[in-house]
Amino acid sequence: MVDKNKNEKRPAVKKEENAVVLDYLSRGYVTSDMSKFGGKPIAQAIGTEQFTLLELAPKRGVDLEIQDTVYIGKGKREKIYRVLGKLDFENLTATSRIELDYAIRDIVEANEEKFVEFFNTAGSVSTRMHSLELIPGIGKKYMWDIIKAREEKPFESFEDIAERLPTLADPAGMIVNRVKQELDTTTPRRGKNKYYIFTQPPRAARRR
């Protein structure tokens, strides 16, 4: 018997090229259960493409600043020596959790065209659920308002969405909240929470 799953093409997982620093620990982790890096400097960060939470090792002599954007791609890196791997939400430091909202919003606003396109083209994720329903504050209540408005004329900006649909006063903030829900591995993934539309499903940590 042929295993059909072996022949199926899985969607390629894009590697982050840039990341925003959420916290920088110049002496490494101080708690006993996170001491595997031996007190070496480490940064917690979030990728700017798919909001991947990451642990980064800076180059020797480099001090990182919170909310700095650093290059982590395959080319020459100015500040980062190695991407240590993915980071679980529950292991974010208190500082990282505070900075997370600001970082996600900055990323969303910097990529406004991409996320406005989501409002223009989002479709169903299952036979019973539409992608727009997954966004906090929208649900079925406002989903059809969005679909009707975009059929009349595609949205051009977050401001355009808010002006034409006053019930969506902060569309960027709605995206931010959804991204945080997807990243949060501390809550059960049932119902709307089991879908990933802006981030990659969690996988085993990798090095590169």
Which range marks the domain in which residue 25 is found? Answer: 18-92
Q: With helix as H, strand as E and coil as C, how does 26-57 read?
A: CCCCCCHHHCCCCCCCEEEEEECCCCCEEEEE
Measured distance CA(169)–CA(137) in Å, rounded: 10
Quick one: 83 and 115 in the same domain? no
What's residue 190's pLDDT?
82
**Cα 15 to Cα 12: distance, rounded to the nearest angstrom:** 9
Residue 8 lies in a domain: no
Question: Quick one: pLDDT at residue 6?
Answer: 42
Q: Which residues contact 153 (CB under 8 A, 6 or more apart)?
A: none
- 131 and 185 part of one domain: yes
Question: Per the domain annotation, does 188 fall within a domain?
Answer: yes
What tens-digit pLDDT sequence spans the chain (208 residues)? 444 444 433 345 578 999 999 999 998 887 655 545 557 899 999 999 999 999 999 999 999 999 999 999 988 999 999 999 999 999 999 999 999 999 999 999 999 999 999 999 999 998 889 999 999 999 888 999 999 999 999 999 999 999 999 999 999 999 999 999 999 988 887 888 889 999 988 754 334 4
Q: How many domains does the chain have?
A: 2
Whether residue 104 lies inside any domain: the answer is no
Residues 150 and 178 in one domain: yes
Contact 66, 102 (CB under 8 A): no
- The confidence score (pLDDT) of residue 9 equals 38
CATH number of the domain residue 116 falls in: 1.10.150.280
Closest CA to 93 of 152, 31, 9: 31
Question: Could you tell me if residue 6 is inside a domain?
Answer: no
- Residue 38 — left, alpha, or beta (φ > 0 → left; ψ -120 to 50 → alpha)? left
Decide if 11 is inside a domain. Answer: no
34 and 62 in a common domain: yes
In a domain, 100, yes or no: no
* Same domain, yes or no: 80 and 145: no
- pLDDT value of residue 10: 37
User: Is-contact 165 173, C-beta < 8 A?
Assistant: no
Domain check: are 119 and 67 in the same one? no
Q: Which of 105, 125, 107, 122 is nearest to 176 (CA)?
A: 105
Q: Are residues 85 and 149 located together in one domain of the fold?
A: no
Does 172 fall in a domain?
A: yes
- The whole-number pLDDT of residue 37 equals 53
